[in-house]
């Protein structure tokens, strides 16, 4: 699945969400998983990140965006394992 080595520090990437430029620092493993998830859903990465961000902001205790992406990816894996 991953194209990059699993033990690598986060890499900062710029992305536009709902017309606003922001940056996300994710380990390459999580970035690869995010790109794969977006492709499977037929969405641009920025659209998927926007959806994750909306879910994050609706939470009573929102995490940071990078943490929300990691949580979303783990939940996605857990759901596919059931």
Neighbouring CB atoms inside 10 A of 30's CB total 22
Q: Is the pLDDT of residue 5 over 80?
A: no
Residue 1 pLDDT more than 50? no
pTM strictly above 0.85:
yes
**Helix H or strand E encompassing 49:** helix 45-58
pLDDT score recorded for residue 81: 63
Q: ∠ CA 54-44-3 to the nearest 5 degrees?
A: 110
Query: DSSP code of 71?
Result: H
pLDDT at 82: 59
Q: Encode pLDDT of 19-67 as tens digits.
A: 999 999 999 999 999 999 999 999 999 999 999 999 999 999 999 999 9
């Amino acid at each position: 699945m991953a194209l990059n080595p699993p033990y690598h520090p986060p890499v900062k990437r710029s992305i536009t969400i709902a017309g606003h430029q922001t940056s996300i620092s994710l380990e390459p493993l999580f970035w690869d998983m995010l790109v794969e998830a977006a492709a499977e859903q037929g969405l641009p990465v920025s659209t998927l990140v926007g959806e994750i961000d909306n879910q994050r902001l609706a939470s009573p205790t929102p995490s940071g965006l990078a943490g929300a992406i990691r949580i979303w990816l783990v939940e996605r894996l857990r759901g596919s394992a059931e």
